[in-house]
Structure formats: C-alpha cells, structure tokens
Structure 1
Amino acid sequence: MRKLFTTLLALVGIFAFAGIAFAAEGKAAMDPGALGTTYMAAAIGMAIAAAGCGIAQGIGLKAACEGTARNPEAGGKLMVTLILGLAFIESLAIYSLVVNLILLFINPLA
C-alpha cells in the first residue's frame, strides 16, 4: 500500500511540474517570467532526483557493508552487485539531468 501511495504521489508531482514547465506558448512565451518558471521547475526536479538517488545509494551501501560484516567471504559477490546497483541508481539521476537540460535549452524567449 505504501509503495502504491508513493508512486501515485510521484506521478501527481510529475504532472504538476511538467504543466508548469511547458505552459508557455504563443504570446505568453515572450513573458520573461516563463523562463524563470522553467528554471525553477528544472531546479526542483534535479534537487528531488539528486536527493532520492543519494538516499538510495546510502541505503545500498549500508546494506552491502552489513552483509560483508556478517559474511566476509561473500564480500566479492556483494561488491559486484553493489557497483551494478549503484550504476543503475545513478542512471536515474543522469536521466533527470538530461530532462532538465532539455527544459533549460528549449528557450521560450527565442
């Protein structure tokens, strides 16, 4: 139930900020405030993505350290799995960065 609630809350947040970021069109695109709104949406999106990925990486590292402490012989297998997992988590932050760069370089004033 908690995972469903978190997923729905994330979707609502995505839809709310995407609407703000892409709302400028026509004459409204000439408004300098539209560019500021895009910058704000990109900054908030990247901050949320970086915070989430940082927390996830910390939890993964903690679990790997605990696993190695309990069974030192399994340290090699845990290290490979940890590095693979951290790469997947970091890719989420990179995807968020790419989306935010797209938002920033689509200039509504041009």
Structure 2
Amino acid sequence: MTDMSWIVLTSTVAAALAIALGVMLPALAMGRAISQALESLARQPESERSIMRTLFIGLAMIESLAIYCLVIVLIILFRNPLLEYLLK
C-alpha cells in the first residue's frame, strides 16, 4: 500500500471512531437529562415550566456537541490536512 492509501485508511478509521464516540456519549447524556427531568416532574409537577425550559436549553447544548463532532469528522474526511503534506 502506498503512503496515500495508509493516510486515507487511517483518517477514515479515525473519523468512524470519532463519530461513534461523538454521537454515543451525547446520546447517553441526553437520555440521562430526560430521565432526571421526568423524575423531577414527578416529584414537583407545579414547576413544570422551569424544568422544561432548563431541559430544552440543556438538550440543545448537548446536541451541539454532536454537531461539532460531525463537522470535525466531515473536515477530516473531505478536506484532510495530512494529504497536503503528502502531495508536496
């Protein structure tokens, strides 16, 4: 295999691992946040507005982590900076 093939192969494997972890961990965090919100709603139903507002803000921040990971993975796959050094 050539150097170009190795760089493409390793960057593809790294991107696959990064997207797997970058989506799995925020998904676990979102599930935990939702379960805690439901538990607190069961204990104090009168504070539903406050809990739901805080939950949605937290979920948006957690989801942004997965989106940032997706952007980095797409950069690695389609605009690989390592290939520029190899082509020179």
TM-score (ref. length: structure 2):
0.85
Residue correspondences, number: 82
Match for 1:45: what amino acid?
A
CA RMSD of aligned residues (A): 1.7
Q: How far is the alpha carbon of 1:51 from its aligned partner?
A: 0.7
Q: 2:54 aligns with which of 81, 93, 109?
A: 81
- Quick one: percent identity of the two aligned structures? 41
Question: What does 1:32-51 correspond to in 2, within 5 Å?
Answer: 32-51=5-24
What do residues 37-65 of structure 1 show as CA deviations (whole Å, max 9, x unaligned)?
11110010010011100000001001100
Query: Distance in 2 between the 1:99 and 1:67 partners?
Result: 35
Q: 2:63 aligns with which of 77, 90, 105?
A: 90
SS in 2 for 1:87: helix
Question: What does 1:46-65 correspond to in 2, within 5 Å?
Answer: 46-65=19-38
Q: Which runs of 5+ in 1 are unaligned?
A: 1-26
Question: What does 1:9-28 correspond to in 2, within 5 Å?
Answer: 28=3
Q: Which runs of 5+ in 2 are unaligned?
A: none
2:40 aligns with 67
Runs of 4+ more than 4 Å apart: none
* Higher RCO (CA < 8 A, seq sep 6+): 2
Q: How far is the alpha carbon of 1:33 from its aligned partner?
A: 2.2
